Structure 1
Amino acid sequence: MDSSKLLGEFLRARREVTSPAQAGFLHAGSRRTPGLRREEVALLAGVSTSYYIRLEQGRERHPSTQVLAALARVLRLDADATEYLYTLAHPWVRPQVPAAALEKVSPSLFQLVNRWHHIPALVIGRRLDILATNPLAEAVYEGMTHVDNCLRMIYLSPGADELYPDWEKAARAKTAQLRAALATDPEDRYLHGLVEELSLHSEEFRRHWARHEVRMRANEVKDFRHPKLGELTFTWEVLTVSGTSQQLVVLASEPDSPTERAVKQLADSIAARNPVPVL
């Protein structure tokens, strides 16, 4: 997909979710459509209305860094969304990754993850594919289908809304991460196919995707409602794998917490089913 078209779609979506009050128009009155008008964005960003319209229509392909900074300010973009804006506007500065390249986890990383018998861990690729998991991580996500990809799992697995106590928040975050992933390679057919698949099968995905929210994966606290162990709280520690666009995610729990005790229970159960052979 043409990055200029993505830029225009992004600007329009963010304009429509930025209220006049947020932009400083305290007496804007009632409106038939939500958000700011094009001429208001142009005024606040210090550009002509015709120039801004060309940006939204994908006809202006070379906005300056000053214009981008002004638009990020007017549309109240956070750091992730601002980086996404710059990436769409200047696609030539990013390294291109072959769309057909198959991501694989190195044997040493795979062995490392599976040697952690008391810590759930997984490896996520640049397309949000789940490339590797250890038995504990698989036990945490017990009952989920479509475990090949984070987006498929949260939108297409029948029990996802039970696993995530705040499913709406989790789904929006994953969708925002997919938007960021697509910015790294707008021509990636796999990612476009994933968007089409999710759009076809999930009304919720279509709703979230239309918001054009952007987010990079980062350390955060996540809650789960496990079918057997009840409420679990993990701190996701996200580590970038050197020399790749993959990320190692470790699900850490507080010492002596109910979650740590539940994880130990899972680990003991796994060990009982798969005893280490004595040599």
Structure 2
Amino acid sequence: MDRHSLLARELGAFLRSRRVLLTPGQVGLPAAGARRISGLRREEIARLASISAGYYVRLEQGRVPNPSPGVLDALARALRMSQEERGHLFALAGQAHPEAEAAAFARGAQRMLALLSPPTAGYVISRHSDVLAWNDTAAALFGHLVEGPGRPNNVRYVFTDPEAREIFVDWPDVAADAVAHLRAATGHRPDDARLAGLVAELSDASREFRRLWEARELRHKVEGRKELRHRLTGRMTLEYVVLAVPTAPGERLVVYTAPESSASHAALHVLRQAAQRRQKPLPTRWAP
């Protein structure tokens, strides 16, 4: 039996284990006399979750390999699951649980950003290369990345926004790093639909991305130096480090800094002050 079948069976067993613990009164159903079974009936859970009874039966039998996040969320509510149980349900289905991810982010990444000493630039990136949060200096340094429409994404920015080619002096090296991180993510999560969709989108949009993706080069750079140029400050030499966020697996804190006595450190101060002087404050986190 393959991994997907095993997970589907475990998901079904988990649903059954939660169902038998509930009573009609806990979910607002009338207690119609004595029951021959423990807990709620399958059709009652299906009705509470607004799905068909047949579909729910197949879920418990392990015959539905990829239930959607919407179905999972409805089942978690119907079965009165705790936060930990909801997260486990989504994990068994191979789906990221949005609330669990948000809670983990709030505990870890945002706290790490707040600890950065000004004028250090920092932003948090997900396994999908989405930029989840950033500080003032990062917002001023990579303006289009965090201010554009929709969910900001680092790889999309590198390959489709002309600003990236202006900012990164060694753009080809930055592009190769971005693709390598994306390939590593797909290797760890080969069934992730969002990762596959991003690869398909950028393969259509960028010949350079397609070439690098097909080259299958693997890199694991977590620190180094980058040459950047900005219209407000000119050229800068910044040191960077990529740190894992302990409370949110797959997320990384990317930090750019420079020695205190350097011109690049002074340039970061200029960028931070420019962000703080704006009449409309820059956001510090993406909100859908």
For residue 94 of structure 2, give the secondary structure of its aligned residue in structure 1: coil
Shift of 1:247: 1.4
Larger Rg: 2
Matches of 1:154 and 1:194 in 2, distance apart?
Answer: 13
TM-score w.r.t. the length of structure 1 is 0.59
Cα distance, 1:111–1:273 mapped onto 2, change above 3 Å? farther
- The answer (yes or no) to whether the contact 2:107–2:247 under 8 Å persists in 1 is no
Shift of 1:258: 1.1
Q: Out of 94, 97, 105, which is 1:98 matched to?
A: 94
Q: Deviations over 1:42-70 (max 9, x none)?
A: xxxxxxxxxxxxxxxxxxxxxxxxxxxxx
Shift of 1:100: 3.9
- The answer (yes or no) to whether the contact 2:229–2:235 under 8 Å persists in 1 is yes
For residue 138 of structure 2, give the secondary structure of its aligned residue in structure 1: helix
Shift of 1:208: 0.7
Structure 1 segment 108-187 matched on structure 2, within 5 A: 109-114=109-114, 116=116, 117-144=118-145, 145=148, 148-187=152-191
Matches of 1:135 and 1:154 in 2, distance apart?
Answer: 20
Structure 1 residue ranges without an equivalent (≥5): 3-94, 275-279
Q: Out of 204, 209, 215, which is 1:211 matched to?
A: 215
Structure 1 segment 8-157 matched on structure 2, within 5 A: 98-102=94-98, 103-104=101-102, 105-107=105-107, 109-114=109-114, 116=116, 117-144=118-145, 145=148, 148-157=152-161
Worse-superposed segment, 152-161 or 235-244: 235-244
Q: Out of 239, 254, 264, which is 2:269 matched to?
A: 264
Cα distance, 1:244–1:143 mapped onto 2, change above 3 Å? closer
- The answer (yes or no) to whether the contact 2:119–2:265 under 8 Å persists in 1 is no
Matches of 1:166 and 1:202 in 2, distance apart?
Answer: 18
For residue 248 of structure 1, give the secondary structure of its aligned residue in structure 2: strand
Counting aligned pairs with the same residue, the percent is 31
- The answer (yes or no) to whether the contact 1:221–1:233 under 8 Å persists in 2 is yes
Matched AA of 2:130: D
Shift of 1:272: 3.8
Which structure: greater helix fraction? 2
Worse-superposed segment, 96-105 or 170-179: 96-105
- The answer (yes or no) to whether the contact 1:99–1:189 under 8 Å persists in 2 is no
Shift of 1:217: 4.4
Matched AA of 1:242: P
Cα distance, 1:114–1:204 mapped onto 2, change above 3 Å? same
Cα distance, 1:169–1:112 mapped onto 2, change above 3 Å? closer
Shift of 1:269: 2.9
Structure 2 residue ranges without an equivalent (≥5): 3-90, 280-288
TM-score w.r.t. the length of structure 2 is 0.57
Count of equivalent residues? 183
Matches of 1:269 and 1:165 in 2, distance apart?
Answer: 22
